[in-house]
C-alpha cells in the first residue's frame, strides 16, 4: 500500500516555489522521490530558492519564465521536458494577493491578480496538459484558498481568482479524466510563513482571531500540507478527481465561537 505514495522517477514542476508554501509542497514531493523543478520570474529569487533546497539536501532544477506569458510557458515547458524529463506532476502554486477595498481598487491591479492567480494556472495547465494527454497520465494540483469558498474584506480580486481556480480545477478534471489525468486542488488555511510572521504574536488582534477561529487553535505549519500534496501527486489518488482538499485546521467546518468562549 505504501508503495502507491512513492513518486520515484516522476518530474514535478511547482510554479513559484522558491519560498513559503510552494517550497514546503515541493520539498514534500522531493522526499517522496520526485525530481523537483521550480520556476520564477526573478533569477535572484530562483538562485536563492535553489540554494535553500540544496541546504535541505534536495536537488532542484530552476527555470526562469512568467506563468502569464504564453510564449514563455511554451518554451519553458519544452525546455524542462527536454532537459529534465516528462512532467508527470504540475503544481500551480504561483500567485499574488493585493489587499485593497473593492471601491478603491484599480482595474489594472484587479486584472494583475486575476492574470497571475487564474490565467497563469490555465496557461500552465493547457501546455503541460497537452503533454500529459499524449502520455495518457498526469497529476495537476492547483493551489486554491479558503477564499475559493468564502469572502473577506479587501481581497475581491484574490477571492475572484481563487473561486475561479476551484471551478477551473473541476473543469480540468471533467475534460481530462478520460486521458488518465487527475486534477485536484489544495486550499490552505492560515499558515505560519515569513509573510505572516509580523502578525503571529501574542496580543495581535489578527493572531487572536485566527487562534480563536480555528478549531485546531493554531496556525498551520507549511509541513502540514505535505501529506495532502503527496497523496494528490501519487497513484494513491488515481480515482480522486475534481476536488479541493482544504487543509485549514477545520475553519471551514464551523461558524466559529465567541471570543469569550473557551
Could you report the per-residue pLDDT of 105-145, keeping only the tens digit for each?
Answer: 999 999 999 999 999 999 999 999 999 999 999 999 999 99
Predicted confidence band at 260 (pLDDT cuts at 50, 70, 90)?
Answer: low
Would residue 138 count as lying in a domain? Answer: yes
What are residue 11's DSSP bridge partners? 35, 87
pLDDT of 262 > 70? The answer is no
Domain CATH code at residue 131: 3.40.50.720
First and final CA of the chain: distance in angstroms?
41
pLDDT of 261 > 90? The answer is no
Q: How far is the C-alpha of 146 from the C-alpha of 246, rounded, in Å?
A: 7
Q: Which of 63, 158, 190, 246 is catalytic?
A: 158
Predicted confidence band at 194 (pLDDT cuts at 50, 70, 90)?
Answer: confident
Q: What is the mean pLDDT of the chain?
A: 96
pLDDT of residue 256: 73
E strand segments, the chain? 11-15, 35-40, 60-64, 87-92, 138-143, 181-188, 244-247
Can you read off the three cell numbers belonging to residue 175? Answer: 475534460
Count of domains forming the chain? 1
Would residue 209 count as lying in a domain? Answer: no
pLDDT of residue 257: 67
Would residue 258 count as lying in a domain? Answer: no
Would residue 262 count as lying in a domain? Answer: no
| pTM of this structure | 0.96
Q: Which residue has the cell 477545520?
A: 250
- The residue-averaged pLDDT of 171-193 equals 97
Would residue 208 count as lying in a domain? Answer: no
Q: What residues have CB less than 8 Å from 49, skipping those under 6 apart?
A: 17, 18, 19, 23, 38, 40, 60, 62
pLDDT of 259 > 60? The answer is no
Would residue 149 count as lying in a domain? Answer: yes
- Specify the range with the lowest mean pLDDT, choosing from 46-50, 86-90, 119-123, 201-205: 201-205
Domain range spanning residue 140? 2-191+222-253
Is 158 noted as a catalytic residue in this protein?
A: yes
Would residue 117 count as lying in a domain? Answer: yes
Would residue 200 count as lying in a domain? Answer: no
Identify the three-state secondary structure at position 89: strand
Amino acid at each position: 500500500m505504501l508503495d502507491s505514495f512513492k513518486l520515484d522517477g516522476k518530474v514535478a514542476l511547482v510554479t513559484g516555489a522558491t519560498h513559503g508554501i510552494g517550497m514546503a509542497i515541493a520539498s514534500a514531493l522531493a522526499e517522496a522521490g520526485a525530481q523537483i523543478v521550480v520556476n520564477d520570474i526573478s533569477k535572484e529569487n530562483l538562485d536563492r530558492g535553489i540554494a535553500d533546497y540544496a541546504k535541505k539536501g534536495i536537488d532542484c532544477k530552476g527555470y526562469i519564465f512568467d506563468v502569464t506569458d504564453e510564449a514563455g510557458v511554451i518554451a519553458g515547458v519544452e525546455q524542462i521536458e527536454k532537459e529534465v524529463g516528462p512532467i508527470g506532476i504540475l503544481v500551480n502554486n504561483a500567485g499574488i494577493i493585493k489587499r485593497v477595498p473593492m471601491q478603491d481598487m484599480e482595474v489594472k491591479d484587479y486584472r494583475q491578480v486575476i492574470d497571475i492567480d487564474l490565467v497563469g494556472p490555465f496557461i500552465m495547465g493547457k501546455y503541460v496538459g497537452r503533454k500529459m494527454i499524449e502520455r495518457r497520465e498526469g497529476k495537476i494540483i492547483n493551489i486554491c484558498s479558503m477564499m475559493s469558498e468564502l469572502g473577506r474584506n479587501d481581497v475581491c480580486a484574490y477571492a475572484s481568482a481563487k473561486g475561479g481556480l476551484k471551478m477551473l480545477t473541476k473543469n480540468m478534471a471533467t475534460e481530462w479524466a478520460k486521458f488518465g489525468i487527475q486534477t485536484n486542488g489544495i486550499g490552505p488555511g492560515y499558515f505560519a510563513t515569513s509573510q505572516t510572521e509580523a502578525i503571529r504574536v501574542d496580543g495581535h488582534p489578527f493572531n487572536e482571531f485566527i487562534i480563536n477561529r480555528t478549531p485546531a487553535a493554531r496556525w498551520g505549519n507549511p509541513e502540514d500540507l505535505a501529506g495532502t500534496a503527496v497523496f494528490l501527486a501519487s497513484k494513491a489518488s488515481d480515482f480522486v478527481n475534481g476536488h479541493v482538499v482544504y487543509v485549514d485546521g477545520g475553519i471551514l467546518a464551523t461558524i466559529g465561537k465567541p471570543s469569550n468562549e473557551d
